[in-house]
Amino acid sequence: MTIAVSPQALPALVLNADYRPLSYYPLSLWSWQDAIKAVFLDRVNIIAEYEHSVSSPSFSMRLPSVVCLKTYVQPSRNPAFTRFNVFLRDRFECQYCGAHDDLTFDHVIPRAHGGETTWENVVAACSPCNLRKGSKLPKQAAMFPAQKPYQPTVQDLHNNGRLFPPNYLHESWLDYLYWDTELQP
């Protein structure tokens, strides 16, 4: 699952005050207009710039390609329980067959059997597997999730988000996106 980013839109990568992206999936990007507004409101430092510039009769400025917030934004400790975050935790694949299309979510212990809608009981599933399992228990359906459902941390979701980079990464962003990966000699 790839997020489409248009290089012609000249988006700015947004880093937290610790020089890490605010999020990896979707990648924390601002439009060039929002980036310039943040510069003028003194909320960010410009780290890198595009060759393109914008001008008025009395002013000219190169467009920022990477900006860093001046104030640290504390990431939430527990990610929200959302359909998107369940899919991201499960890497956008059906936990029963591995398919990537037509995803929905499945209650491992069905609600009809007292199962709750929680991190620990919901997995990503393709529609055919979800229909095949129905309201049966895993043992009855002979369908077991590839990964036991769990409540992910924000770091878990960031790590999974790195597996799905956008279709376009500007060269000025690369030093900030994968800074914790091993360098090549």
Q: What is the CATH number of the domain that holds 113?
A: 1.10.30.50
The answer to whether residue 151 sits within a structural domain is: no
| 59 and 90 part of one domain | no
pLDDT score, position 133: 96
pLDDT score, position 183: 52
pLDDT score, position 174: 87
The answer to whether residue 156 sits within a structural domain is: no
| Domain residue limits at 16 | 6-74+166-174
pLDDT score, position 168: 81
Is 0.85 topped by the overall pTM?
A: no
The answer to whether residue 152 sits within a structural domain is: no
- The tens digit of pLDDT for each residue in 68-127 reads 999 999 988 889 999 999 999 999 999 999 999 999 999 999 999 999 999 999 999 999
**Which pLDDT band holds residue 24 (cuts at 50, 70, 90)?**
confident
| 64 and 91 part of one domain | no
How many domains, the chain?
Answer: 2
Tell me the chain's radius of gyration from C-alpha atoms: 21
Cβ-based burial of 96 (10 A; exposed 0-12, middle 13-18, buried ≥19): buried
Does the bond joining 138 to the residue before it have cis omega, within 30 degrees of 0? no
SS3 call for 12:
strand
Q: Which of 4-8, 52-56, 79-83 has the lowest mean pLDDT?
A: 4-8
